[in-house]
Structure 1
């Protein structure tokens, strides 16, 4: 039977950590499929604009701290499905994305949810020396113990018109005549945020098919950090000196922060060095019925704001 695009019609979906970049895009995808949405976050007011994406009564907001079990229980009460987007690079990472993720899954199970999607990250590794990667892997294990039919998604770096990834480099290239490139040969496989949102929606719509499985979801093209910066500069029509830092130098800057405005921490540098591409050992977007769109499809349009004179300026040939 053909789908009408409303596979989640009438279902209440709680999105834990739904006030961030990914959460705002996911809200639009879920509402477009007929879901009712409960956005749970420490700062739900940051997601208030999502209310206009739904009809009257379709979107509600709950203040939730994942380190406080009572607030998690309140957030998932009565939910048909739960999505966990919570993650962090600093603070008590075990409480947030390690054992804490398992507690969220357990609360969802106790509340009677029939589907649970846990968003982890490519590079999750229980043996990693980097706490972020290690606790991401521990969180996956804890989720599957508490909710065996949960779906685990490991996305690569997400990009979108309002991201803090492409836009960060876009701003720096617009401002500076020269820009250091950290880990210039590190490989990335950036994923369009709306494609990631579609993957979550498909997993929620068919928990019998996707539950208990782990997917690596990444974009259709692999590029290095140097190539990424070159393409951003070209889209801005700017000629910039991109200084490819040796890893020894980049590591020192990331560790000690002696370059003003260094946009990377030591752990982030270590993760970047390791690369952010799908391993190929796990199913990907195709298995979820998603056809990913490339970064190049959007760069010229999104980065016009960083060109000299904006949309009214001619796009110069970047060198």
Structure 2
């Protein structure tokens, strides 16, 4: 599909996934509008003088602000995410209320294609507030924009991520590595660039049938196996010690008192749940993408860290 000057508005376009989506869109010559509360953070994403990259200030909690950011856009991507609640920024306000607002305004302003980024395991009936909000968000988005596409990525990795990079930092600092429980939870890490590419291919699809894509990497690992892979690639030999989840919950509760918590109870809850794509759901394969594994990309990540 030719871009034909079709502008794509990306909410959360300065974030970990969002800035990659922006770059992949620009690589396809889509004009892009980054909608963010801090648009200046996007100035260096495609070069300082890219005339096809607009930076607009937008607050997803304000309908007028959202509508202005969507005006005249062909497509929109909601890549806004929240992992730690603070003030009015709650899982419900961001993943449900704001998601519904973006979808409703996209429909009202004539946007033709909407891609909503959710997460594997999203479930409106979950006991976890985060997972429940993700699930409720999918429902309200579908109700407001019937043709919306939803992407559920597995835990994402890549340079500057909050997952593999965190594991690596801890492995380098701690000779004894504290594992979440016995490290048996199953993970299917997805390379962030692959998820960004999936987003753009969905925007380019000719069909408009609403679909949920579950995007997991090529391999499923236990948490313990994944830590071992990272350690070996970094030439480290830590002692892995299982720590009961009850202890992690207590540590997270104490950490949440800090202005910038090192660990939250939500993160501990997520580490107790398998995050693996369903074989019945379409994913990377249906989009013509051969996803990269953690092993394939780790050396590149390590070399960039020096």
**Scaled by the length of structure 2, what TM-score is found?**
0.91
CA distance in 1 between partners of 2:225 and 2:4 (Å): 42
Matching residue of 1:246:
244
Deviations 1:215-264 (A, max 9, x none): 11110111111111111111111222221223333333334449x99843
Unaligned residue ranges in structure 2 (runs of 5+): none
Matching residue of 1:198:
197
Residues 276/263 of structure 1: CA separation in 2 closer, same or farther (3 Å cut): farther
Q: Which among 41, 47, 60 is matched to residue 66 of structure 1?
A: 60
Aligned residues: 299
CA distance in 2 between partners of 1:281 and 1:288 (Å): 15
Contact 1:22–1:193 (CA<8 Å) still a contact in 2?
yes
- Higher helix proportion: 1
CA RMSD in angstroms, aligned pairs only: 2.1
Matching residue of 2:17:
22
Matching residue of 2:186:
187
Shift, 1:130, TM fit: 1.1
Shift, 1:143, TM fit: 0.9
Deviations 1:263-297 (A, max 9, x none): 43212211221111113332221122221111110
Unaligned residue ranges in structure 1 (runs of 5+): 1-5, 311-319
Contact 1:9–1:33 (CA<8 Å) still a contact in 2?
no
Matching residue of 1:87:
81
Residues 196/7 of structure 1: CA separation in 2 closer, same or farther (3 Å cut): farther
Contact 2:58–2:66 (CA<8 Å) still a contact in 1?
yes
CA distance in 2 between partners of 1:7 and 1:201 (Å): 12
Residues 101/207 of structure 1: CA separation in 2 closer, same or farther (3 Å cut): farther
Deviations 1:24-72 (A, max 9, x none): 111111111110000011111222211318x731101111111111110
Matching residue of 1:139:
137
CA distance in 1 between partners of 2:23 and 2:281 (Å): 27
Shift, 1:167, TM fit: 1.1
Residues 65/299 of structure 1: CA separation in 2 closer, same or farther (3 Å cut): same
Contact 1:253–1:262 (CA<8 Å) still a contact in 2?
no
CA distance in 2 between partners of 1:305 and 1:18 (Å): 23
Matching residue of 1:77:
71
CA distance in 2 between partners of 1:62 and 1:109 (Å): 20
Matching residue of 1:292:
291
Matching residue of 1:32:
27
Q: Which among 39, 42, 46 is matched to residue 37 of structure 2?
A: 42
Q: What are the equivalent positions in structure 2 for 1:1-319 lying under 5 Å apart?
A: 7-52=2-47, 56-89=50-83, 90=85, 91-183=89-181, 184-206=183-205, 208-209=207-208, 211-257=209-255, 263-304=262-303, 310=306
SS at match of 2:43: helix
SS at match of 2:46: helix
Contact 2:75–2:113 (CA<8 Å) still a contact in 1?
yes
Deviations 1:71-124 (A, max 9, x none): 101111110000001121213222211032111011111111110000001111
